[in-house]
Amino acid sequence: MIRNVNTDLVAGTLGLLLSLTFWSLIDPRMTHMSAVFPTAMIGIMAIASALLVIKGFSRAAERGNLFDVGSNVRVLATGLFFFGWVIAIGYLGFFVSSVLVMSLLALYLALAGRRVSPARFALWVGIVACEVAFFYLIFTRLLHVLLPEGWFF
């Protein structure tokens, strides 16, 4: 948890940085019609951000605790699981990577509050495999969506 942060100042600074980034990415060769709308919006973004920075220095500045809900380690790990899942799909295929990552994620989240025996985990892997197979069949057979292939199929 990060305590007593001036969120107006942080949001305003972030907004100014974003405005600057978008501004620097406008190609000078761009036609007026393509540039006019984003340019106006970058201006509005910069104004809103500047007002937030000003408010951040005033007495009315909003303050709050960041990341104060539950376990931040679990949030970070869940994020890594998700990103790893998408990367793994490209190599292992949809089915294998989904069964693997979903089972491990379920085990990781469950271990926070209980003990999981190997037999129980094996059962979970089976349930997850059925779940993934259900989605796989719906999407490939019924909706004709070609899901990424890797190991096996």
**What residues from 93 to 132 belong to the interface with another protein (CB under 8 A)?**
94, 98, 101-102, 105-110, 112-113, 124, 127-128, 131-132
Distances (CA, A) of 134 to 7, 97, 126: 44, 15, 12
Number of residues that bind another protein (CB under 8 A): 74
What is d(CA 72, CA 76) in angstroms, rounded to the nearest whole number? 6
Q: What gap in Å lies between CA 5 and CA 45, rounded to an integer? A: 22
Helix (H) or strand (E) holding 6: strand 2-6
* Interface of this chain with another protein, residues 7 to 36, rule: CB under 8 A: 7-8, 10-12, 14-15, 18, 22, 25-27, 30-31, 33-34, 36
Shortest distance (Å) from residue 132 CB to another protein: 7
Q: Least distance from C-beta 38 to another protein, angstroms? A: 5
Residues numbered 59-78 forming contacts with another protein, rule: CB under 8 A: 62, 64, 66-67, 69-72, 74-75, 77-78
CB 132 within 8 A of CB 102: yes
